[in-house]
Chains A and B, each alone.
Chain A
Amino acid sequence: MNLDAKVPGGPLADKWDRHLADLRLVSPANKRKFHVIVVGSGLAGASAAASLAELGYQVSCFCFQDSPRRAHSIAAQGGINAAKNYQNDGDSTWRLFYDTIKGGDFRAREANVYRLAQVSANIIDQCVAQGVPFAREYGGMLANRSFGGAQVSRTFYARGQTGQQLLLGAYQALERMIGKGAVKMYSRHEMLELVLVNGRARGIVARDLVTGEMESFAGDAVVLATGGYGNAFFLSTNAKGCNVTAAYRAYKKGAGFANPCFTQIHPTCIPVSGDYQSKLTLMSESLRNDGRVWVPKAHGDSRGPRDVPESERDYYLERKYPSFGNLAPRDIASRAAKEACDDGRGVGPGGRGVYLDFSSSIERLGEQAIRERYGNLFEMYERITGENPYRVPMRIYPAVHYTMGGLWVDYNLMSNLPGLHVVGEANFSDHGANRLGASALMQGLADGYFILPYTIGDYLAGAKLEKVDATHAAFREAEQRASAQLNTFLSINGKRSVDSFHKELGHVMWNECGMARNREGLQRALKKIPEIRAEFWENVKVLGSAETLNQSLEKAGRVADFLEFGELMCQDALQREESCGGHFRTEYQTPDGEAMRNDHDFTHVAIWEYQDGAAPVRHQEPLDFEFVKLATRSYK
């Protein structure tokens, strides 16, 4: 497996500019001759597809929803980081870079993260030009808020709907190019196979989810922008459709999967209310700017929150992390909530919850100010729980939220398979072992607007591609494989629904590969998951046909992939014998319960290579820290 990261030499601050100067260019007249397939229309996919089309490439773009505007990016609430230093509070490219590297617990590539911080400012400019209605001050300037893991205010936001507004900006840019005929959009299409010809990514096979037709699409390069795989846990804050299928099927074709065990558990979500629960709802991290997290000091205290006097409350984040307080990074805040609940001090049904209390902010700033900042989030909370958070504190609990792992890419965002590029949450690149809030939107748009459009040109200019169209035998073979799988699902005719298997897997993943992991638990999971999978292939029940819109059939393919991929996540978690960021192995902790890294043995990216019928092979990309010093992360 070729894992050359192709990081350019020279000083950190000059790498990207030098690289840009060195990249080969495709002339305007030749761009028209290249066809790029973009799978995904979230922030990363829509921005990439629109930008590539603007440059003159022929683009086809795919999404499984009924419109590109509905990609999961739409749900992001809190904001997007950028090193603009508009607040004059000492922010800089270096500081954003350092916060991100440190937030990721020193498990990301320096050069990529620095570039991310560099282009962050251009993203805000671009979005404002498109008409994204970011929050503003009375003078007409852009407003900022602070987010976890940072001591400056660098987060730009559009009420509690930042992802929506950024995605609509990218979507409108994409629709503009669709209107001009420069992008061909395939909504309600699901990619099921990546097609390689002579070792290069040359196209995909996708199923039309309305007619059931299997179709081949050939091109000169493929871009996966297919999002994260948090739904391996069944319950997560991700949209119901989010899945690992595109990435996993590329992995089965030889693309390396990097750090699959790096998942982020978000500290502020609405707790589970029953076993019918179908998803978990995030309450934006921005709430921690004005909400204080606490549990009663006493075990099993069953009084209502307003009856617990101040002196009997434990504001545990403020106590343990005085300098960051309620804004401690996500992994730390999540683990602290779990500890408090494990300790028998949790609140609400089943004791799996902690309070997020706004009463002191309401007292200090008035209810109106709080309503202006978080009105829509408060309403959402009330709709779901039936409780009014202006009167009683919210109850929150951590939930699976984001996946830092993903397909391995080099500095050019290309996987080890030539021609296969991966952008957004689907790649592994910038967040290390833990992502800071408001950095996913930044990364998705950095990749799509400002990095991929340049680097893909270098590939196309140098690749010397032979002519390949969808009649090539490789496409027939891939179509047949995909159809055969669907027919198998339909023919099993067992007793259990697809969802019941997904839930069962999710349960195992949450218990053994969730917020805290250890050898025994992971080994249990590695025994259990193949059993669930075996039963799935014997006892799943999928009704209907493959020639119509069939939602359980779609889901069956996704769950089949999760059932293999979950095992890979546990394998990766088992092999990484250290705690770092969101990966907390209970065997590796300091006496006061903080994560203990093992820099000597694990300052590397773990990359998994698929083997047909055998255990996957683990490769390493060493992480060289040339410009920052590896430090123990402290938010105390």
Chain B
Amino acid sequence: MKLNLKIWRQPGPAAAGAMQSYVANDVSEHMSFLEMLDVVNEELQTKGEEPIAFDHDCREGICGTCSLMINGTPHGPKRATTTCQLHMRSFSDGDTITIEPWRAKAFPVLRDLIVDRSPFDRIIASGGFISAPTGSAQDANAILVPKPDSDLAMDAAACIGCGACVAACPNSSAMLFTSAKVAHLGLLPQGQPERDQRVLSMVHQMDLEEFGGCTLFAECEDACPKEISVENIARLNRDLIRATVRDRGQVHVESGAG
């Protein structure tokens, strides 16, 4: 099939960007979306034009590196599918496809379709962990975890940190991402000692980055390639209220405390 592409090109973080048109010929329905872009890039280079920069690595839907806004939807039209796992059979001959980077103030564009998602790392560094220094652990089966809790924790832990939730949110909120980690750890017995501190620290860090607030549009859940549920946001909010009420968290200057 033949496709018309409209792609965001931006030479660098400080440079102005613009949409540019390209034509992709001979696209096979079995190609992945990124393989289609590989072919376009190959052609561009032969013509002496710099290839389109886009982030990707595993191409298996697990590393969370790929990040394209396809026709205005993060990761494109297919539910629960990352860009790298999207195949061209989801499109038809003659389609026009617009491809843009994640749009969010907290995720500045570095080049073309590549953005800076380091705020996510800083949110984790602020408290998204259980403090268990190497060598301090007891026998694994000494901690029993009811299967339903463990399953729910795993559902939340499946987040790949791609940022689609932020890109989908009209407020560019990082609530789904943050809540998935708060829920994953908070649902497990091992996560209890730091539960209050964790939610306070992470929410504080989220506010320091330039993410917007959450007004429960739930667009994030629809866009999430791992189907992380907005129920996690409810869990976060409960934890936040509990922690604030218990007033254990004079918001810590030392990030990573807890």
Question: Chain A residues in contact with chain B, CB under 8 A?
Answer: 47, 50-51, 54, 65-70, 72, 74-75, 84, 86, 122, 124-131, 133-142, 158-159, 161, 163-165, 168, 171-173, 175-181, 185, 187, 210, 239-241, 273-274, 276-279, 281-282, 379-380, 383-384, 386, 449-450, 453, 495, 497, 499-500, 541, 543-544, 548-549, 551-552
Interface of B is mostly: loop
Residues of A within 8 A of B85 (CB): 380, 383-384
Which one, B37-45, B69-77, B210-218, is touching chain A?
B37-45
Residues of B close to A497: CB separation below 8 A: 42, 45-46
Q: Are A136 and B140 in contact (CB under 8 A)?
A: no
Q: How far is the CA of A138 from the CA of B146 in the complex (A)?
A: 7
Q: Which of B114-151 contact A (CB under 8 A)?
A: 114, 116-118, 120-121, 124-141, 143-147, 150
Residue B173 interfacial (CB < 8 Å):
no
CB atoms of B130 and A130 under 8 A apart: yes
Q: Are A549 and B53 in contact (CB under 8 A)?
A: yes
Partner of A273 from B30, B56, B114 at Cβ < 8 Å: B30
> Nearest A residue to B156 by beta-carbon distance?
A133
Q: Taking the complex as formed, is B60 at the interface, i.e. its CB lies under 8 A from any CB of chain A?
A: yes
| Chain A residue with Cβ nearest B55 | A66
- Establish whether residues B110 and A549, one from each chain, have CB atoms under 8 Å apart when the complex forms: yes
Given the complex, which residues of A lie within 8 Å of B50, measured CB to CB? 543-544
Interface residues of B in 57-115 (CB under 8 A from A): 57-65, 78, 80-81, 85, 87, 89, 110-111, 114
B140 x A133 contact (CB < 8 A): no
**Contact residue among B28, B35, B255 (Cβ-Cβ distance under 8 Å from A179):** B255
B58 touches A54 (CB 8 A): no
Chain B CB count within 10 A is highest, among A54, A66, A281, A383, for: A66
> Would you list 7 pairs from A and B whose C-beta atoms are within 8 A, ordered by A residue?
A69-B161, A133-B154, A133-B157, A135-B150, A175-B121, A240-B56, A278-B34
Whether the Cβ atoms of B130 and A172 lie closer than 8 Å is yes
Considering the complex of A and B, which 10 residue pairs feature the smallest CB-CB distances, nearest first?
A179-B256, A140-B144, A179-B125, A172-B129, A129-B137, A129-B132, A125-B137, A175-B125, A133-B154, A128-B140
B32 at the interface (CB under 8 A from A): yes
Assuming A138-B147, A240-B56, what are 15 further A-B pairs, CB within 8 angstroms? Answer: A51-B133, A74-B62, A74-B63, A122-B137, A125-B140, A129-B130, A129-B137, A131-B191, A140-B144, A172-B128, A240-B57, A240-B58, A380-B60, A499-B38, A549-B111
A175 touches B129 (CB 8 A): yes
Cβ of A67 and Cβ of B120 under 8 Å apart?
Answer: yes
Bound form: Cα–Cα A134–B117 in Å: 28
CA distance A163 to B114 in the complex (A): 25
- Write out the residue numbers on chain B whose beta carbons fall within 8 Å of the beta carbon of A50: 134
* Known pairs A136-B147, A140-B144, A386-B87; A173 contacts B117 (CB<8 A): no
Bound Cα distance A178, B88 (Å): 40
Determine how close the nearest CB of chain A comes to the CB of B255; give it in whole angstroms: 5
B171 at the interface (CB under 8 A from A): no
How far apart are the CA atoms of A223 and B141 in the complex, in Å? Answer: 33
- Determine which of B39, B125, B136, B184 lies in contact with A131 in the assembled complex, contact meaning CB atoms within 8 Å: B184
- Which of A138, A384, A551 lies in contact with B87, CB distance below 8 A? A384
> By the criterion CB–CB under 8 Å, are B117 and A66 in contact?
yes
Q: Answer yes or no: B7 CB below 8 A from chain A CBs.
A: no
Interface code B222-258, partner A: CB below 8 Å = 1, 0 otherwise? 0000000000000000000000000000000011100
Interchain CB contact under 8 A, A240 and B130: no
Which of B118, B136, B184, B191 makes the CB contact (< 8 A) with A67?
Answer: B118
Is B190 located at the chain interface by the 8 A CB criterion?
yes
CB distance from B66 to the nearest CB of A (A): 10
Residue picked from B13, B110, B132, B137, most chain A C-beta under 10 Å: B132
CB of A541 within 8 A of CB of B45, answer yes
Q: How far is the CA of A122 from the CA of B63 in the complex (A)?
A: 26
Contact at A136–B34, with CB atoms within 8 Å? no
Given A66-B118, A122-B137, A130-B190, does the pair A75, B62 have CB atoms closer than 8 Å? yes
Q: Does B158 make an interface contact (CB < 8 A)?
A: yes
Contacts of B65 on A, CB cut-off 8 Å? 65-66, 70
CA distance in complex: A142, B152 (Å): 15
Contact A551 B51 (CB under 8 A): yes
Q: Does B170 interact with chain A (Cβ within 8 Å)?
A: no
Are A133 and B188 also in contact (CB < 8 A) when A276-B35, A549-B12 are? yes
A139 nearest CB across to chain B (Å)? 7
Task: Find out whether the CB atom of B140 lies under 8 angstroms from the CB atom of A142.
Answer: yes
A185 smallest CB distance to B (angstroms): 8
Contact call A126/B154, Cβ cutoff below 8 A: no
Chain A nearest CB, measured from B79 CB (Å): 11
The residue of chain A having its C-beta at the shortest distance from the C-beta of B162 within the complex is A70
Residues in B neighbouring A133, C-beta threshold 8 A = 150, 153-154, 157, 184, 188
Q: How far is the CA of A416 from the CA of B144 in the complex (A)?
A: 45
Q: How far is the CA of A139 from the CA of B53 in the complex (A)?
A: 49
Q: With A and B bound together, what is the CA distance between A137 and B13 in angstroms? A: 50
* A176 contact from B59, B114, B120, B131, Cβ within 8 A: B131
Q: Which residues of A contact B56 (CB under 8 A)?
A: 240
CA distance A51 to B137 in the complex (A): 13
